[in-house]
Structure 1
Amino acid sequence: MRVTQGMLTGNMLRNLSASYARLGKYQDQLATGKKINRPSDDPVIAMKGMVYRTNLTEVEQYKRNFSEAYNWIENSDAALDKATQTLQRIRELVVQASNDTYESSQRAAIAQEVQQLTDHLVSIANTKVGDKYIFNGTDTLTKPVDLTQASPVTSNNTSEVKIELSKGIYIPVNVNPTKVFNYDNTAKGKGLFSDLEFLNNDLNDATKSGKDISQYLGYIDQHINNLLNARAELGARLNRIELMEERIDQQEVIANRILSDNEDADIERVITDLKTQESVHRAALGVGARIIQPTLLDFLR
């Protein structure tokens, strides 16, 4: 086959164009720190990168969900702690009022403090975090306790507020309000606020004796136990959430490492390849200068 000057020139130009393309690729990798800058550079790396980024995005969302879970549980636990302290103070007052040496005026004074403490318990039951009531199940926009009405109202919403903290794992973060802040005046010992109402009425009743008042000690102890049980359950959930958070933190580290291994360029290798390609390109230019057909000026020299 006859090799012409045009063929040599054409091959030289194609090779120079390919050399420029390789130089551009290495320069892009060095400037961006990425192996590819468009999916067409390497479709396999691009597809894997989409999967790894989706995984990393999910992990980052779970980390944000942990903040919301901690917000609910810690505020609930703090509110239950204050409610427990309030009930313990009411119990102390009941012990005092159970003494038959107390006159009706003294018990009436105790009744006033019990009423104030009851109002404080109502405010605790109506605790809000942001614009959400945390003791009303999933109905977070409705006040759970309202004793000002003719028929006092307390929440009976037992639905759990669940937050996804891992793939397919939903953890409840609220407290069942029917177990801690309830009103049931069908009998003593049934509801927290109804028992306090019965107690307040008996304290204001001059015909009641210390024995009548002392019966409330057992009811109050039961309500305190209910609060402690709710706090124990919250504590167990908190421990699990902390363990899950450690796992998610590890998953985030692993996801970032895998994504980096897939997409990030090896800078040392890129610099070496770039310098090698520059040398090859200069050699190609030198050889090409000899291949190009001589002009009339070359013959005149």
Structure 2
Amino acid sequence: MRVTQSMLSANSLRHIQNSYKNLGKLEEQLTTGKKVSRPSDDPVVAMKGMRYRSQVVEVEQFNRNLSEVYNWMDNGDAALDEVNSVMQRIRELTNQAANDTYETKQRQAIASEVKQLRVHLESLANTKVNNKYIFNGSDTSAKPVDLSKVDKEIDLSAITADNAKDYALFAQDGKQLLWNDISGGFVDSNGTKVEIPVSGDYVAKEIGAVSVNQRDVDMEVTKGVNLNVNITPQNVFSLEFFSDLGDLVKTLESPETKGEDVSEFLGKLDGHVDQIISERAELGARYNRVEMVESRLLSQEIIAKSTMSENEDIDAEKTIIELTSQETLHRASLAVGAKMIQPSLIDFLR
């Protein structure tokens, strides 16, 4: 085959162009720190990289979810801790007032403090985090307790089908009934219909007196695992809870009250305190689980980022050596090309 000057020149320029391409690729890798900048560089690495990156993003999102979980639980636990402290103070005052040596004015003074503590408990029940009420189940936009509605007496006979949706019915055992338009009557948590008028075992209150929302606030803490971050409001801030405190205030204010009348409330207060402690303990158990999930997510994040780095990131030392070698080859290619292309037939005709 006849090899011409143009063929040598073309081959030389092609090799120099490939050398520039390799230099450009190595320079881009050192600049970005990545093996590939586009899928065409290495489709397999690019495909694996998308999967690894999705895994990292997923773990990072779960970590952000955990921050919100901690926010809810920490605020919930802090509020319950203060509720417990307030209840201990109310019990202490009640125990003092149960002494028959106390006069009416002294008991009325205690009643004033208990009344203020009851209002403070209302504010604790209406605790907001990020502009959301944390003690009203999934209905985070409405406050769970309104003492003005709690203290308002409602006659059961005044409830009709026309206004029933504005009321909730409460039993002493904690059972609550809400109006259901579909069934045309009050239903319990199981959806069982209870016709009105109901028996005298129920107490009617306007909607909004205390929380009637029993749905949990769940947050996804890891793939397929949701965790309840709130407490059940009916277990702590129930109608019975605020009604008992209201009755205690009335008893202390009455001039006919005797010590034994006040001492009857000690058992009721102890029952509410036990319920608060129990709910706090259950919240603490879930908190411990969140900490274990956080530890697991931390390990997963480290592994996921390490795997993604091994797949995508360059070995800087190795790439620098390759770049140095390519620069040497490129210089040699330029030198050879210059020597080869320079001589021509014209040079020998002079």
Normalising to structure 1: TM-score of the pair? 0.92
One-letter identity of the residue aligned with 2:297: I
Task: Give 1:203 shift.
Answer: 1.6
Partner of 2:238: 182
| 2:53 equivalent to 1:53 | yes
- Separation in 2, partners of 1:163, 1:176: 15
1:50-94 Cα offsets, whole Å, 9 max, x none, are 111111111111111111111111111111111111111111111
Q: Is the 8 Å Cα contact of residues 9 and 292 (structure 1) preserved in structure 2?
A: yes
Task: Give 1:170 shift.
Answer: 1.1
Out of 269, 273, 286, which is 2:318 matched to?
269
Task: Give 1:235 shift.
Answer: 0.9
SS in 2 for 1:171: strand
Partner of 2:70: 70
More deviation, 273-282/210-219: 273-282
Question: Superposed, which structure 2 residues align to 1:15-94 within 5 Å?
Answer: 15-94=15-94
- Separation in 1, partners of 2:6, 2:147: 99
Partner of 1:169: 225
- Separation in 2, partners of 1:3, 1:271: 37
Question: Superposed, which structure 2 residues align to 1:73-222 within 5 Å?
Answer: 73-149=73-149, 150-151=152-153, 153-183=209-239, 191-222=240-271
Task: Give 1:296 shift.
Answer: 5.6
Relative to its length, the structure with more helix (as a share) is 1
Normalising to structure 2: TM-score of the pair? 0.80
Task: Give 1:224 shift.
Answer: 0.3
SS in 2 for 1:154: coil
| 2:307 equivalent to 1:251 | no
One-letter identity of the residue aligned with 2:325: T
Q: Which runs of 5+ in 1 are unaligned?
A: 184-190
Task: Give 1:181 shift.
Answer: 0.4
Partner of 1:278: 327
Partner of 2:284: 235
- Separation in 1, partners of 2:338, 2:125: 88
- Separation in 1, partners of 2:30, 2:247: 79
1:179-212 Cα offsets, whole Å, 9 max, x none, are 00011xxxxxxx1101111111222223332112
- Separation in 2, partners of 1:9, 1:137: 80
Equivalent pairs counted in the alignment come to: 294
SS in 1 for 2:221: strand
More deviation, 282-291/164-173: 282-291
Q: Is the 8 Å Cα contact of residues 5 and 293 (structure 1) preserved in structure 2?
A: no
